[in-house]
Amino acid sequence: MQRFAAEDAQSPPPSGGVVFTGSSSIRLWDTLAQDFPGVPVINRGFGGSELRDSTWYADRTIVPYAPRQILIYAGDNDLHSGRTPQQVRADFIAFVDRVRRDLPKAKIAYISTKPSPSRAQLLPAQREANALVQAEATRLGVDYIDIFTPMLDAGGQPNEALFIEDRLHMNAAGYDIWQRVIAPYVK
């Protein structure tokens, strides 16, 4: 949070942009601005975060920028830390409620959890959480972006070729998929 405050003090992002927030998959997206040319993107990903962290820190990572759109990637760390798919759904609802309290006109898009090889044991929980969040997103008028499915290999397992050595974080090929899948949703 201190780094974001320092960056903002040095060069304040424009209001009305597009905030990408959530865990390290967002934080590590170094080509975000190049991947969405002409879109004023603001990267406010912070490593290890869970959905409820994005809700808690919304006053620092989202609201000050008065964005026209927020894209959030969270849920993966939640399941890894022992939260249930039902808790992820509840945390998603709380996030949407929190954002809409201060930014009622901002569009929100939820990026589904990704299938990481290092967390393959979580695939059933991820599928359940993604389905629960997708249903709530539809009910709440939030875009749901499925990046889970395009990141599976032909056998339905996480595609190892999309990840760096830690088998959790993505390489350029993984981010290429994200860019292609997410681009139609960026307003």
- Tens-place pLDDT, residues 72-103: 999 999 999 999 999 999 999 999 999 999 99
C-alpha–C-alpha distance, residues 13 and 31, integer Å: 17
Please tell me the predicted confidence (pLDDT) of residue 32.
Answer: 96
**In this model, does residue 41 exceed pLDDT 70?**
yes
Average pLDDT over residues 151-168: 97
Q: Is the pLDDT confidence value at 1 over 70?
A: no
Q: Which pLDDT value is given to residue 10?
A: 80
Whether 75 contacts 88, CB under 8 Å: yes
Q: How confident is the model at residue 12 (pLDDT cuts 50, 70, 90)?
A: confident
pLDDT of residue 3: 76
Q: What number of residues does the chain have?
A: 187
The closest alpha carbon to 135, from 183, 70, 88, belongs to: 88
CATH class of 2-185: alpha beta
Domain ranges of the chain: 2-185
pLDDT for 4 equals 75
The percent of residues above 90 in pLDDT, for the chain, comes to 90
Residue 6, pLDDT score: 77
Q: Where are the alpha helices (DSSP H) in 37-171?
A: 51-56, 58-61, 76-80, 85-102, 123-140
The string of pLDDT tens digits covering residues 135-150 is 999 999 999 999 999 9
The rounded distance, in Å, linking the Cα atoms of 152 and 58 is: 31
Residues 81-101 as b/e (b if ≥16 CB within 10 A, e otherwise) read eebebebbbbbbbebbebbee
* Mean pLDDT for the stretch of residues 95-121: 97
